[in-house]
Amino acid sequence: MAKFSVGIDLGTTHSAVSTFDLARESGRGVEQQMLPIPQLVKPGAVEEPFLLPSFLYLPNENEFPAESLNLPWKRAHADLIGEFARAHGAKVPTRLVSSAKSWLCHPGVDRTTDILPWQAPPDVQRVSPLEASTRYLEHLRSAWEHKNGAKLKEQTVVLTVPASFDASARDLTTEAAARAGLENVILLEEPQAALYSWIEAKGETFRKDLTVGDVILVIDVGGGTTDFSLMAVTEHNGEVQLTRLAVGDHILLGGDNMDLALAHTLNQQLSAAGKKLDAWQFASLTYACREGKERLFGDTRAKKHPISIASRGSALIGGTVKTELDREQLESILVDGFFPRVKPSDAPQAARRSGLAQMSLPYAQDAAVTRHLAAFLTRQAAALANSQDVPVRLEGRSFVHPTAILFNGGAFKAAPLKQRVTEVVNSWLDSEGGKPVKELGGADLDLSVARGAAYYGWVRQGHGIRIRGGTAHAYYVGVEASVPAVPGFKPPLRALCVAPFGMEEGTKAEIPPQEFGLVVGEPTRFRFFSSSVRREDKAGDMLEDAARSEDLEEVSPVETTLPGKEGQLVPVNLQALVTELGTLELQCVEKNGSGRWKLELNVRMKE
């Protein structure tokens, strides 16, 4: 039996670990323990903060003396993870791996191939997004075991993922955990973890803050991503329940974008003054802007923050380029630029794209978080209006009206950003006769996800209140239509629903018998789709022309050769399973035979 529930927040820019003692008889008033994470802050110097920056630096062979990179559990290792990796990587960005979590969910690349650092020179030995995530988890596992003197894999381990992660990204996350020595981890959506943390902190008094009929908007703006979730407060047999209603799309927009916006503004000012920065110096400027942003938002009395960038040229006197970031600039760029006052009917703006674009992460084209939020609430109102037994009122409303907001993510440590979001949402509510939203305060924005994940391990044992909701998307597999051959015409691709919206973990969906033929013995490609708005589709429903549907988003295909006689078409029935760990499997069972094939929504296949 596990003694502890250990919550791991594997973040885009920071990671954290919290431990909950399962031996306690009651979760009320239990004081969790955040894990101090040993990491290098400079060669030969190890500190133990609660946050591990999710950065991996790949030094060359002779860059540092081997003994200067020792950790308490590891000697002379070949890479750097954490604060020193981030700080030193700002000076040598071609050797710095960042945003591995965003790359892990990028369907446009092979996430198991060594591609990071992106566009690094040939002399840098790259790693895959999967490998980078594995190394972060290995570091966290080693730190926990060093501190506790026990094996982490023997505990209940809850690993968080964005609610917007599709089945493929979730499965890759569990694979990274397994490679790091953590088998059978439990996945939990980050917004749910944040809400669990708030509930634990409030104890039984949370019932005074939430009443049946409330709709909680969890808005999470972290270092690299923005996520939205809606939770409803309902009642069943006299007991209060929480149900996850909807999640938004995965939006690559966060604190990193804000740092870049500040850096570009200051760079323009330097250029106007005749001071040109190269790519290396601009990376240093971006790092300095992040530090300046945090200092100014953290100290409301400070009006300016000095910034110095080392010079590599002989033309500049003193060897540094100096400038400053002032509060007025900071709030104008970040508050008005990323959280503008918009209408609830406004949608994110898509700029016309160039015919050629540099391959990179699919960043959001519109930096306005409030426009993305307006689109989310409006789109979900339309989706919920077509759903049965929706526990929220929608009549006469153009968007879902939240009654409470829970902020999460490091960006919201800046009070002006929280204030602007609340102001904008209240203006939307007022336009349709709604009441002002209430903030569910008191959360530790850096640590709440890890704490909520650890608390969830205790909830799974039958304690406290559990958030219900099942899968956040409906899932479909592409089925090629059977039509006569026509020159220049491709058969249309239909989408078969294999896992309906809200399918609970540990359950199986039997697809009604249909005539499906499974190609075995030769290379094949299985296409999969998901939808966060099609809530009424049942297992076995077939949608026409999947490629043209606006409600469907294509996820990573499975490209494989299934064992069997070459070119054989095996008649099969289909079953879908959502595992206890939250991953999705599609099983193909041979009719009138013993053949069974299992497909998982990434590049892997198991017989």
Q: How far is CA 160 from the centre of its chain?
A: 8
Higher pLDDT, 157 or 243: 157
HSE-up (13 A, CA, CB side) for residue 135: 20
Residues 223-249, mean pLDDT to the nearest whole number:
88
pLDDT tier at 600 (50, 70, 90 boundaries)?
low
Q: Which three-class secondary structure state does DSSP give residue 187? A: strand
Convert 210-276 into a string of H (helix), E (strand) and C (coil). CCCCCEEEEEEECCCCEEEEEEEEEEECCEEEEEEEEECCCECCCHHHHHHHHHHHHHHHHHHCCCC
pLDDT score, position 607: 31
Question: DSSP characters for 204-222?
Answer: GGHHHH--TT-EEEEEEE-
CA distance 173 to 583: 10
pLDDT in tens, 63-94: 888 888 999 998 766 789 999 999 998 888 88
Q: Which three-class secondary structure state does DSSP give residue 344? A: coil
pLDDT in tens, 534-565: 888 999 999 988 877 888 888 877 777 888 88
CA distance 596 to 116: 37
Residues 285-311, mean pLDDT to the nearest whole number:
88
Residues 451-479, mean pLDDT to the nearest whole number:
88
Q: Phi-psi region for residue 502, left (φ > 0), alpha (ψ -120 to 50) or beta?
A: left
Residue 107, token pair as written in the block: 């369907």
Q: Please, what is the end-to-end C-alpha distance for the chain in angstroms?
A: 31
- Residue 258's identity, in one-letter code, is M
Tell me which residue of 511, 516, 583 sits closest to 541, measured CA to CA: 511
Residue with tokens 């008889």: 25
pLDDT tier at 578 (50, 70, 90 boundaries)?
confident
CA distance 326 to 305: 6
pLDDT in tens, 361-396: 778 889 999 999 999 999 999 888 877 667 777 788
User: What one-character DSSP code corresponds to residue 351?
Assistant: P
* Whether pLDDT at 145 is above 90: yes
pLDDT score, position 77: 65
pLDDT score, position 437: 97
Residues 463-473, mean pLDDT to the nearest whole number:
83
Cis status, amide bond into 49, omega within 30 of 0: no
Higher pLDDT, 110 or 56: 56
pLDDT score, position 488: 62
Residues 6+ apart with CB under 8 A from 164: 225, 227, 247, 248, 249, 250, 251, 472, 532
Q: How many residues make up the chain in this entry? A: 607
Centre a 10 Å sphere on the Cβ of residue 88 and count the other Cβ atoms it contains. 20
CA distance 258 to 289: 9
Summary mean pLDDT of the chain: 87
Pairing of strands 304-310, 516-520: unpaired
Q: Phi-psi region for residue 365, left (φ > 0), alpha (ψ -120 to 50) or beta?
A: alpha
Residue 271, token pair as written in the block: 């250029």
